[in-house]
Structure 1
Amino acid sequence: MSASPYTVFRSRRAVLPEGERPADVVVRDGRIAEVLDYGTAPAGGELFDLGELALLPGLVDTHVHVNEPGRTEWEGFATATRAAAAGGVTTVVDMPLNSIPPTTTLEGLEAKRKAAEGRTFVDVGLWGGAIPGNTADLEPLHAAGVFGFKSFLAPSGVDEFPHLTGAQLEQALTEQARIGALAIIHAEDPAVLDAAPHTPGPRYADFLASRPDDSETTAVSTLLELARRTGARVHILHVSSAAVLPLLRAARAEGVQVTAETCPHYLTLAAEQVPDGDTAFKCCPPIRDDANRDLLWQALADGEFAAVVSDHSPSTPDLKHLARYGGDGDFAAAWGGIASLQLGLAAIWTEARSRGFALSDVVRWMSSGPAALVGLATKGAIAPGLDADLVAFDPDADFAVDPDGLHHRNPVTPYAGRTLTGAVRTTWLRGRALELGADARPIGRIIARGEA
């Protein structure tokens, strides 16, 4: 080794691409230089000896709603990325809606980048949006470095980001196929949703009936047919219904370029557990029953999901209509979104270990998988040449979720009071430990598609 400064991260449980083993990870200038056998790194560098703590690659969360600028009272770059770092997430990709303006034009992209600059504790990439009337904006946004384009097939919940009709979606996918962009789709069918029963009130069963499985399967069927016609690469966001899985299998067998993701709340929570009136559990598509959850886990084990990501979508407590904040607990009226960015790793590990999975599985689902999905070549694994984004993780530590201990701007979470297993002890970004106190200085970067 040369005389230049270096750092050694030593762990008896380093989770590497080939599996978990004892290792010394040598870091130089923010990148992983070597992965050596345990205890063999030459003396002279700074040593972090983690002992039995697991050393993980930083997680990559490609589905985060930061909401800044415009709705920073819901969330913001400083609070969201601090929460990410506390949960072992070192890279997030921000969704284009819920901010004002949305990221659907170059001007909107510039406003987003300006709002984020100097305020991120982890690295942040940005999605663009495909909405009615902005097809001409897609190529300039793609050239400017967005990671792809999000569209809704049903109303998004905010006026600035309308959903696409079938004809508009085909036009958008045709353009995205031409420029080589990834299309990411919220797949619920508006006609099915309109025909479903809508009963206001606090009963979760009523809300669940208003977003039936057919809303997802019908939308996915429509999307897959358009993907066949246009040749676009499409990714199904936040799959909640296992009924879509046979459709995806058949499409892939035909050569359609389609991937899908699911989320911690669909894998760790079930409809039977949701108390009436507790709208912290509301999300769209909804948390379905326990049998459905088992099928999602089986699909995850079979490699059918490209990623497990948070869909972190917070709001102010009043918009959730929560009774403990003076609200009426009306699921129909409450904002649909779950805040879990800080808790996703622990939530998934808690459930995964009970089902016989290993830390290497969790890393594949939550780090290397999402990094590969969006083409982040220097993220997602502990390997030479990659960014030294690392996490010291205690896989045996239990803790009770205290909302007041979360870094999210609004500490509303369905995990409140639950006991989870797995605690993040330290997070490093490019080899630098992330400080998260009130006086901490953010060191994250705004990253663009294609950056090495």
Structure 2
Amino acid sequence: MSQETEKYDLVLRGERVLTAEGIGAREVGVKDGVIAAVEPLGAGLAGERVVEIAADEILLPGLVDSHVHVNEPGRTEWEGFASATRAAAAGGVTTIVDMPLNSIPPTVDVDALEVKRGVARDQAHVDVGFWGGAVPGNTAQLRPLHEAGVFGFKCFLLDSGVPEFPPLSLDEIETDLAELKQYDSLLIVHAEDPHVIEEAPQPDGPVYANFLASRPRSAEDTGIKDVIDRARSTGARAHILHLSSSDALGEIRDAKAEGVRLTVETCPHYLVLKAEEIPDGATAFKCCPPIRESGNQDLLWEGIADGTIDLIVSDHSPATVELKHPEGGGFDVAWGGISSLQLGLALVWTEARKRGIALERIVELMSAAPAALTGLQRKGRLEVGKDADFAVFAPDEAFTVDIANLRHKNPVSAYAGRELTGAVRAAYLRGEVIDGVAPRGRLLAHGVD
């Protein structure tokens, strides 16, 4: 059957459709949940359903967020697969990869992975993959987890905040990197050096400056250097999570130029929020590593512009109101984490457009790049052969963040009342609108399309 007479399940038409060639007037044909045709607008693709993208909207590939703490099972009162994936879809995120900790049991062996898959299977409104965990004593579990489909392995250099997920020593990291090198898996690292933090001033009460001093840039810089050294010596793949210290950018650039197999992410909160603007006692802003000063933020944006930073993901790390807002607003005892899964694109785009960074670049960092990191071949781009995952985005629509409109479980947000530009009006998963009612998400496994 010729393209001219073929009838697609869905056709989307718009003056602004973002593909690898940029934003242009195009028609997209979807068949059996897959992008089957991308043609210039006016090609006349026929569909059982036809959607006209409005003049003020852009059709984007669905975003991929490779750093999400869903926390279910075990701490489902913090978050769960139903609420997290609804929030993801509302933000144009059509694929998430769930972190191995804060749930109980943590994903440190195949049995725990199957428990997590079991609770996620019938609740997910977007596609969901899983990271494994690397903790002391589970090196022998890494290969079975890899073969079971995890996308790589998360570890900490210091206390994770939950007792069931202890940190690795540098010798253990080197051992695990050598193990993962055998099957080209990936170690993703929370790289803050524990010794530097032990020697830093202790956080004290509600003063944000005290908390910031307790997690100095030098802790990250030292931790990142140590990870780079082990990645260099083993030849394995390493990924630096949630970069907040701009001082580490030079070390990262040099390592990449040398050929160390290193990738780096940062998060919306480091690109948007500023230490100088955080009120004392405002524990909704607590995260680790911390939100730093405006000058540091400017340098992170330079790292995005020059390609040193590879991707932007949420590090969505929710908690209950009680854990986030203890009496007295003490940064020393509040849970550290920012909930931004629903707001990531709007947050980053609002700031990027002020800095003259194109939407195409932001989408690359939030869709194609995390898909590449995790090896998700069918995700991240709007092109023939990929899953028909889309976000309909109105880049000029302004809105005020209202906690009541956020889909994650607990009404805590560092962005409450913030004015943003860029609204996600719809999201599609394999050609179907995500309605937040009927869960259509699939569970993804590394190496399985």
More displaced stretch, 192-201 vs 42-51: 42-51
Counterpart in 1 of 2:381?
Answer: 381
What are the superposed Cα offsets for residues 286-320 of structure 1, whole Å, 9 maximum, x if unpaired?
00000000000011011111210000000001111
Q: Distance in 2 between matches of 1:405 and 1:340?
A: 13
Q: Distance in 2 between matches of 1:105 and 1:396?
A: 46
Counterpart in 1 of 2:101?
Answer: 97
Counterpart in 2 of 1:339?
Answer: 339
Counterpart in 2 of 1:107?
Answer: 111
What are the superposed Cα offsets for residues 219-278 of structure 1, whole Å, 9 maximum, x if unpaired?
011111111111110000000001111111111122110010000000011101111111
Deviation at 1:39, TM superposition (A): 2.3
Q: Quick one: which of 211, 227, 240 aligns to 1:236?
A: 240
2:11–2:46: 8 Å Cα contact kept in structure 1? no
Q: Distance in 2 between matches of 1:188 and 1:210?
A: 12
1:321–1:333: 8 Å Cα contact kept in structure 2? no
- Partner-residue secondary structure (3-state), 2:182: helix
Deviation at 1:177, TM superposition (A): 1.1
- Partner-residue secondary structure (3-state), 2:379: coil
Q: Distance in 2 between matches of 1:46 and 1:91?
A: 24
Q: Distance in 1 between matches of 2:301 and 2:253?
A: 16
Give runs of aligned pairs for residues 6-155 of structure 1, distance below 5 A: 6-52=9-55, 53-155=57-159
More displaced stretch, 155-164 vs 197-206: 197-206
| Equivalent position amino acid for 1:447 in 2 | L
Q: Distance in 2 between matches of 1:101 and 1:238?
A: 24
- Partner-residue secondary structure (3-state), 2:223: helix
Counterpart in 1 of 2:163?
Answer: 159
Relative distance call for 1:44 and 1:186 in structure 2 (3 A) is: closer
2:27–2:45: 8 Å Cα contact kept in structure 1? no
Counterpart in 2 of 1:360?
Answer: 360
Counterpart in 2 of 1:348?
Answer: 348
Counterpart in 2 of 1:248?
Answer: 252
Q: Distance in 2 between matches of 1:303 and 1:47?
A: 38
Give runs of aligned pairs for residues 164-313 of structure 1, distance below 5 A: 164-313=168-317
TM-score by length of 1: 0.97
Relative distance call for 1:383 and 1:194 in structure 2 (3 A) is: same
What are the superposed Cα offsets for residues 334-389 of structure 1, whole Å, 9 maximum, x if unpaired?
10100000000110111111111222111111001111111111000110000000
1:15–1:359: 8 Å Cα contact kept in structure 2? no
Q: Distance in 2 between matches of 1:85 and 1:337?
A: 20
| Equivalent position amino acid for 2:432 in 1 | R
Relative distance call for 1:3 and 1:25 in structure 2 (3 A) is: closer
What are the superposed Cα offsets for residues 401-430 of structure 1, whole Å, 9 maximum, x if unpaired?
011111100021100000111111110000
Deviation at 1:433, TM superposition (A): 0.3
Relative distance call for 1:159 and 1:48 in structure 2 (3 A) is: same
| Equivalent position amino acid for 1:444 in 2 | G
Q: Distance in 2 between matches of 1:265 and 1:85?
A: 19
Counterpart in 1 of 2:405?
Answer: 405
Q: Distance in 2 between matches of 1:165 and 1:46?
A: 55
2:12–2:51: 8 Å Cα contact kept in structure 1? yes
Q: Structure 1: where are the runs of 5+ without partners?
A: none
1:306–1:373: 8 Å Cα contact kept in structure 2? no
RMSD value over aligned CA atoms? 1.0
Deviation at 1:81, TM superposition (A): 0.2
Do structure 1's residue 445 and structure 2's residue 438 form an aligned pair? Answer: no
Deviation at 1:44, TM superposition (A): 4.7
Q: Distance in 1 between matches of 2:66 and 2:38?
A: 27
| Equivalent position amino acid for 1:161 in 2 | F
Q: Distance in 2 between matches of 1:14 and 1:338?
A: 31
- Partner-residue secondary structure (3-state), 1:370: helix
Q: Distance in 2 between matches of 1:359 and 1:431?
A: 23
| Equivalent position amino acid for 1:181 in 2 | S
